Amino acid sequence: MTRAPRYTQTVANLPATVPFIGPEAMQRSAGKPFATRLGANESVYGPSPRVIDAIAAAGPDVWMYGDAEAFDLRNALAKHHNLAIDNIVVGSGIDGLLGTVIRLLVAPGDPVVTSAGAYPTFAYHVAANGGTLHTVPYSGDHEDPKALVAKARETRAKIVYIANPDNPMGSWHSAATIQDMIKDLPDDCVLALDEAYIDLAPAGAAPLFDMGDPRILRFRTFSKAHGLAGLRVGYAIGAATTIRMFDTIRDHFGVGRLAQSAALAAVQDVEWLRQVKAKVATARTELSAIASENGLAALPSATNFVTIDCGRDGAFARAVLSGLLARGIFARMPGVAPLDRCIRVSCGRADDHALFATALSETLRELGNADVT
Amino acid sequence: MTRAPRYTQTVANLPATVPFIGPEAMQRSAGKPFATRLGANESVYGPSPRVIDAIAAAGPDVWMYGDAEAFDLRNALAKHHNLAIDNIVVGSGIDGLLGTVIRLLVAPGDPVVTSAGAYPTFAYHVAANGGTLHTVPYSGDHEDPKALVAKARETRAKIVYIANPDNPMGSWHSAATIQDMIKDLPDDCVLALDEAYIDLAPAGAAPLFDMGDPRILRFRTFSKAHGLAGLRVGYAIGAATTIRMFDTIRDHFGVGRLAQSAALAAVQDVEWLRQVKAKVATARTELSAIASENGLAALPSATNFVTIDCGRDGAFARAVLSGLLARGIFARMPGVAPLDRCIRVSCGRADDHALFATALSETLRELGNADVT
């Protein structure tokens, strides 16, 4: 017999793809660093100075495992949201938490619903568990709550996913729209409500917390507004009976001591968050202006990025993105039509925007004279 | 219908247990901090000063996601071990990596083999995936390679787990014994060789690397000798064809930028590792002497802890452990007979050992006058 591991049937059928090629891998392929990094919706404004201090202070103690219950952090989050500690579970970013909730619910063949073109890592985790993914299209550059719920009902989905605000389009729904979605949700379907960007959304996008409904899980992160993408801390909020289930399979010591200390310092620095929100608002205005100056239309954004409609088809937008990348601008674009007529640019500092503006204008000038379809 | 998520059958059948109650949770229950922390086999000698500097330096950059390919770290590890980068995958500690490899191989009902009383988190992950765990007993306070392989063959196991050196007994096998185990391993069974403590073992415990065998996965960590338990970085070493499979399901951005930087600094500080090994050797001698002075026998140790035979049954050892805990000494003990006649004490500094010596002697004096069975 040949010496070989016997992978599960699910794993043996998986394609050798990854959700994203990261910017470092792109730089290694290109053989040079990016001039500016506006493709991963990171917070270029950095973490709070208090968080930077907390990280330095935590270094000598890093020989100790973190608290498996993340008690201090969950306690601070509970106070911040006016919830009980049992309504919160901490995990290694929303990616890690989505992976866990899918493992809790999805066995091979089980149906799951999302939007075509929504967050690829959610789809990746569904595939990793052998789930069957059903999609509905966006509607007017928004995810379509009514269509998502209808599809969940039709397919008897175990999970329906929506991001509010949305990535990659930057659009958002009002709390009332999300509430209506919950009202229509099948009784045995979990709503995975990804609120990674909620800190940057206009008031009125987040529904009130209802900890009596075991079907609703809301995902928050320190990777966006708080500027801690490189630490991997996120949390899920839900009914205590649902949150408790994470404990049956999660990696209990997976969020380390240092990450917990840093996140705790971030929760406590409300003033830094206010400053980041102001900087993001300014940056959105600047990026929209750059789009207009180049004859393109920026979509309204409730996030720390701006999605820019390049006005033609996916091939054209891909050519724009390639032109930007060739000029050292790391940006991304949606992967599915008709969203892929757009590119997606993260909020930067003034110098990032100046580089982007020059590269965009050069790229469009070049493409104006070329056949890109 | 009642509103309720539909968990997978595997999850619905899981007990509400966790692999370990962490020391912070124990302190909260007790209402006071431990006087000394010798229960989690952490490295009280801390991380290298160069690592502490690297952590502080990485703070301001933590707004960026880590490299999903962990290229620099894997490259340094490959050089260190004289392997290719494709032989290494980085994950959030051995716990995280074990979870991933079990998900790759174990579907509900699939057989897996380990030793009764070996690392509980391995068994936890097997249960989380619905695997059927078969165990063999220790033999003379060692895991029993021949019995493990025989059981793997008998049950057609997909994975057989062994730790060398072993936790919780501190014992170890020679490389030749592990090589013999591999020679007898069924062709379609993966050997998960947990080498968390290998940096602290005598020369000759680690077999040469054979990257031509797709069945062998070796697990290493920065949590023990390197003193980075609170950062969550480990790695698996294996044939490129096997290592590549991790990419189909792992959390690609799960090991953050800061953790990668710190681990890279740790790999490069060979002198610190040498100093830690010397301190651990001294500490083992001290802990053995304390055991002897109290009429107990310390087992030989190839790790950063010493397992002490309390000379009677599990009930007595549990009483000793309780006495230590009541005196503020955090230690642990094996969970399964006959291993549970022992307690397990991590290597500490002189002041940790002094506190332990006093508490042990008081506890034994107290128990000498009591009926503990």
Nearest by CB to A1, from B37, B187, B227: name it: B187
Cβ B266 vs Cβ B51: under 8 Å: yes
Cβ separation of B6 and A158 shorter than 8 Å? yes
Nearest by CB to A25, from B68, B213, B255: name it: B68
Cβ separation of A230 and B59 shorter than 8 Å? no
Residue given tokens 């993966």 in the structure block: B190
Q: What is the mean pLDDT of residues A102-129?
A: 97
Cβ separation of B95 and A247 shorter than 8 Å? no
Residue B39 to residue B43: CA distance in whole angstroms: 11
Helix H or strand E segment including A160 = strand A159-163
Residue given tokens 């997976």 in the structure block: A254
DSSP A10-29: HHHT--S--S---HHHHHHH
* pLDDT-derived band at B369, boundaries 50, 70, 90: low
A49-269: in CATH 3.40.640.10 = yes
Cβ B321 vs Cβ B360: under 8 Å: no
The token duo for A58 is 């935590």
* pLDDT-derived band at B353, boundaries 50, 70, 90: very high
The pairs formed by B78-86 with CB atoms below 8 angstroms and a separation of 24 or more are B80/B267, B81/B209, B81/B237, B82/B209, B83/B209, B83/B211, B83/B237, B84/B211, B84/B240, B86/B240, B86/B243, B86/B244
Grouping H, G, I as helix, E, B as strand and the rest as coil, residue B278 is: helix
The token duo for B196 is 């968390």
Cβ separation of B62 and A228 shorter than 8 Å? yes
Contacts of A251 in chain B (CB under 8 A): 92-93, 95-96, 99
Pick among 1.10.510.10, 3.90.1150.10, 3.20.20.10, 3.40.50.720: CATH of B9-46+271-367: 3.90.1150.10
What amino acid occupies position A315? Answer: A
| Dihedral over alpha carbons B34, B141, B296, B364 (to 10 degrees) | 50
The lowest-confidence range among A2-11, A16-25, A235-244, B157-166 is A16-25
Grouping H, G, I as helix, E, B as strand and the rest as coil, residue B135 is: strand
Cβ A259 vs Cβ A231: under 8 Å: yes
**Residue B355 C-alpha from the chain's centroid:** 25
Residue A324 to residue A356: CA distance in whole angstroms: 8
Nearest by CB to B227, from A47, A63, A245: name it: A63
Nearest by CB to B105, from A8, A28, A62: name it: A8
Determine which of A249, A269, A352 to mutate to test the interface with B (most B C-beta atoms within 10 Å): A249
The pLDDT tens digits of the residues spanning A191-222 come to: 999 999 999 999 999 999 999 999 999 999 99
Grouping H, G, I as helix, E, B as strand and the rest as coil, residue B138 is: coil
The token duo for B275 is 């100093």
Please, which residues have CB within 8 angstroms of residue A166's CB and are 6 or more apart in sequence?
Answer: A118, A142, A143, A172, A303
pLDDT of residue B92: 96
Residue A372 has pLDDT above 60, yes or no: no
Please, which residues have CB within 8 angstroms of residue B81's CB and are 6 or more apart in sequence?
Answer: B88, B209, B237
The angle that helices A23-30 and B71-81 make with each other, rounded to 10 degrees, is 70
Grouping H, G, I as helix, E, B as strand and the rest as coil, residue A178 is: helix
Residue B13 to residue A107: CA distance in whole angstroms: 14
Put the strands of the sheet holding A159-163 in their side by side order.
Answer: A88-91, A234-237, A216-221, A190-194, A159-163, A111-115, A132-136
Nearest CA in chain A to B4: A188
Contacts of A105 in chain B (CB under 8 A): 5-8, 11
Q: In this predicted model, which residue has the larger pLDDT, A259 or B372? A: A259
Nearest by CB to A230, from B25, B56, B257: name it: B257
User: CB neighbours (10 Å) of residue B308?
Assistant: 28
Cβ A255 vs Cβ A90: under 8 Å: yes
Cβ A188 vs Cβ B5: under 8 Å: yes
The pLDDT tens digits of the residues spanning A226-277 come to: 999 999 999 999 999 999 999 999 999 999 999 999 999 999 999 999 999 9
CA distances from A154 to A112, A135, A189 (A): 11, 12, 12
The pLDDT tens digits of the residues spanning B192-245 come to: 999 999 999 999 999 999 999 999 999 999 999 999 999 999 999 999 999 999
Determine which of A1, A64, A191 to mutate to test the interface with B (most B C-beta atoms within 10 Å): A64
Nearest by CB to A65, from B22, B63, B255: name it: B22
For A73-103, letters b (16+ CB in 10 Å) and e give bbbbbbeebebebebbbbbbbbbbbbbbbbb
For B213-242, letters b (16+ CB in 10 Å) and e give ebbbbbbbbbbbbbbbbbbbbbbbbbbeeb
| Contact pairs from chain A to chain B, CB under 8 Å | 295
Pick from B127, B236, B12, B250: which is nearest to A96 by CA?
B250
Cβ separation of A16 and B93 shorter than 8 Å? no
Contacts of B23 in chain A (CB under 8 A): 65
pLDDT of residue A20: 80
Contacts of A259 in chain B (CB under 8 A): 256
Residue B3 to residue A313: CA distance in whole angstroms: 43
Nearest by CB to B258, from A231, A244, A245: name it: A231
The pLDDT tens digits of the residues spanning B146-190 come to: 999 999 999 999 999 999 999 999 999 999 999 999 999 999 999
Cβ A347 vs Cβ A337: under 8 Å: no
The token duo for A6 is 């016997």
Nearest by CB to B65, from A46, A190, A229: name it: A229
Q: What is the mean pLDDT of residues B359-373?
A: 83
Q: First vs last Cα of chain B: how many Å apart?
A: 51
Look at the domain A9-46+271-368 and name its fold.
Answer: Aspartate Aminotransferase, domain 1 (3.90.1150)
- Please give, rounded to a whole number of angstroms, the shortest distance from the CA of B1 to a CA of chain A: 7
The pLDDT tens digits of the residues spanning B3-45 come to: 999 999 999 999 877 778 999 999 999 999 999 999 999 999 9
| Domain chopping of chain B, boundaries | 9-46+271-367, 49-269
pLDDT of residue B15: 83
Nearest CA in chain A to B244: A16
**Residue A198 C-alpha from the chain's centroid:** 10
pLDDT of residue A15: 83
Contacts of B214 in chain A (CB under 8 A): 3-5
Please, which residues have CB within 8 angstroms of residue B331's CB and are 6 or more apart in sequence?
Answer: B38, B39, B321, B324, B325, B343, B344, B345, B346, B356
Pick from B157, B108, B248: which is nearest to A11 by CA?
B248
DSSP conformational letter for A131: P
Residue B371 has pLDDT above 60, yes or no: no
Residue B373 has pLDDT above 90, yes or no: no
pLDDT of residue B287: 98
Grouping H, G, I as helix, E, B as strand and the rest as coil, residue A153 is: helix
Cβ separation of A68 and B18 shorter than 8 Å? yes
pLDDT of residue B372: 52
User: CB neighbours (10 Å) of residue A10?
Assistant: 20
The lowest-confidence range among A39-48, A112-121, A284-293, A364-373 is A364-373
Cβ separation of A55 and B55 shorter than 8 Å? yes
Contacts of A46 in chain B (CB under 8 A): 60, 62-63
The token duo for B133 is 């765990």
Task: Say if B9-46+271-367 and B49-269 have the same CATH topology.
Answer: no
| Dihedral over alpha carbons A139, A143, A149, A150 (to 10 degrees) | 20
Residue given tokens 């091939």 in the structure block: A315
Cβ separation of A8 and B104 shorter than 8 Å? yes
Cβ A258 vs Cβ B55: under 8 Å: yes
Contacts of B68 in chain A (CB under 8 A): 18, 20-22, 24-25
The pLDDT tens digits of the residues spanning B247-271 come to: 999 999 999 999 999 999 999 999 9
Grouping H, G, I as helix, E, B as strand and the rest as coil, residue B163 is: strand
DSSP alpha helix (H) spans, B170-297: 175-184, 240-243, 257-268, 270-293
- Please give, rounded to a whole number of angstroms, the shortest distance from the CA of A125 to a CA of chain B: 7
Cβ B229 vs Cβ A63: under 8 Å: yes
For B329-353, letters b (16+ CB in 10 Å) and e give bbbbbbebeebbbbbbbbbbeeebb
Nearest CA in chain B to A232: B256
pLDDT of residue B43: 98
The percent of residues above 70 in pLDDT, for chain A, comes to: 98
What is the overall mean pLDDT for chain B? 96
Residue given tokens 């970013």 in the structure block: A93
Cβ B92 vs Cβ B263: under 8 Å: no
DSSP B31-70: TS--SEE-SS---TT-S-HHHHHHHHHHGGGTTSPPPTT-
Nearest CA in chain A to B49: A60
The pLDDT tens digits of the residues spanning A309-355 come to: 999 999 999 999 999 999 999 999 999 999 999 999 999 999 999 99
pLDDT of residue B363: 98
Residue A14 to residue B175: CA distance in whole angstroms: 35
pLDDT of residue B20: 80
Cβ separation of B65 and A42 shorter than 8 Å? yes
* pLDDT-derived band at B370, boundaries 50, 70, 90: low
Q: Give the torsion sign (CA, B207, B210, B214, B220).
A: positive
Nearest by CB to B2, from A187, A245, A254: name it: A187
Residue A167 has pLDDT above 60, yes or no: yes
- Please give, rounded to a whole number of angstroms, the shortest distance from the CA of B369 to a CA of chain A: 36
Cβ A64 vs Cβ B230: under 8 Å: yes
SS3 content of chain A, % helix, strand, coil (to 5): 45, 15, 40
pLDDT of residue A172: 98
Please, which residues have CB within 8 angstroms of residue A101's CB and are 6 or more apart in sequence?
Answer: A159, A190, A192, A217, A236, A246
pLDDT of residue A18: 73
* pLDDT-derived band at A182, boundaries 50, 70, 90: very high
